[in-house]
Amino acid sequence: MTVYFIGAGPGDPELITVKGQRLIRSCPVILYAGSLVPTAVLEGHSAEQVINSAELHLEQIIAHLVQAHSRGLHVARVHSGDPSLYGAIGEQIRELRVRDIPFEIIPGVTATAACAALLESELTLPKVSQTLILTRYSGRADMPDGEQLRDLARHRATMAIHLGVSHIARIVEELLPHYGPDCPIAVVHRASWPDQDWVKGRLADIEELVRAKGYRRTALIVVGEVLDPGDFSDAALYRASHAHLYRSNS
Ligand SMILES: C[S@@+](CC[C@H](N)C(=O)[O-])C[C@H]1O[C@@H](n2cnc3c(N)ncnc32)[C@H](O)[C@@H]1O
């Protein structure tokens, strides 16, 4: 018996891995994070038990996993996007390890990738930004020292900010001194869902644009010059003068 932590992808049921879908269709027990995972992702399952974990707390989730283990039943534990990002799998893994319950993690398409696709953007352009910071907004004290937005903003790298759209005013305030008012920024709401939507602007006007759209939840904020880079140089990878292991100079 194994607990499979499966990345469901950002919403579109076709954006799950083949392996993740196969496991969902074959596991007799499914626990899915129903706040962000659409039931369409579970289509074709033959499970005897399907549980929405959005209504449960950690102890109740672990109790389901332990029960399945004692019955020798595989579990598909389905999380949104990629489970390694803000998925709260760390504490589940800790509990499974204590109980010697085997588990495996199946990666998924993270929201940032889905948003970049929608925005038709490469997030890492030569000489513009070669770094992507994935972070979240938190007004609470649970951000570690040195990871407040104003600290991260000093790098002026491309940044994807999760869980922050309802705090857009505060976020703009922290980014402005480093990125400047003209820096492009996009807010993508429910990327890859049927009602997906997005808005693009500059740091100076994004707060107003987001307010007009009325986004409150499930939106990703992407900021950085890569969203409107103007003229930028080609990456060395496909440059004719650049030889490498798979291609000689031409
Ligand atoms: C708890 S985190 C889960 C992230 C997920 N594990 C991932 O890899 O994308 C939830 C946050 O991710 C972002 N998010 C998740 N799915 C999204 C989507 N389809 N479109 C835009 N943002 C999304 C939002 O910021 C949302 O508040």
Q: For residue 141, what pLDDT is reported?
A: 61
**63 alpha carbon – ligand 1 mean position (Å):** 26
Which pLDDT does position 93 carry in this prediction?
98
For the chain, give every residue range classified as CATH 3.40.1010.10: 3-106
CA of 218 to the centre of ligand 1 (A): 6
Strand order across the beta sheet in which 132-136 lies: 132-136, 158-162, 219-223, 184-189, 197-202
Q: What is the pLDDT of residue 237?
A: 75
Report the CATH fold assignment for 111-227: 3.30.950
Substitution candidate for ligand 1 out of 105, 220, 223 with most atoms within 8 A of CB? 220
pLDDT for residue 239: 77
The reported pLDDT for the residue numbered 242 is 76
Task: State the distance from the centre of ligand 1 to the C-alpha of 206, rounded, in angstroms.
Answer: 19
**What pLDDT is stored for residue 85 in this prediction?**
97
First to last CA, the chain: 54
Place of tokens 């409107």: 228
Ligand 1 pocket, CB under 6 A = 10-11, 36, 80-82, 85-87, 110-111, 114-115, 162-163, 188, 190-193, 218-220
Under CATH, which architecture does the 3-106 domain have?
3-Layer(aba) Sandwich (3.40)
Q: How many residues does the chain have?
A: 250
Helix residue ranges per DSSP H, the chain: 18-26, 58-70, 90-98, 111-118, 149-153, 168-179, 206-213
Low pLDDT (below 70) residues in the chain:
140-141, 249-250
Q: What is the pLDDT of residue 250?
A: 61
One-letter amino acid of 66: V
CATH 3.30.950.10 boundaries in the chain = 111-227
Question: In the prediction, which pLDDT does 172 show?
Answer: 98
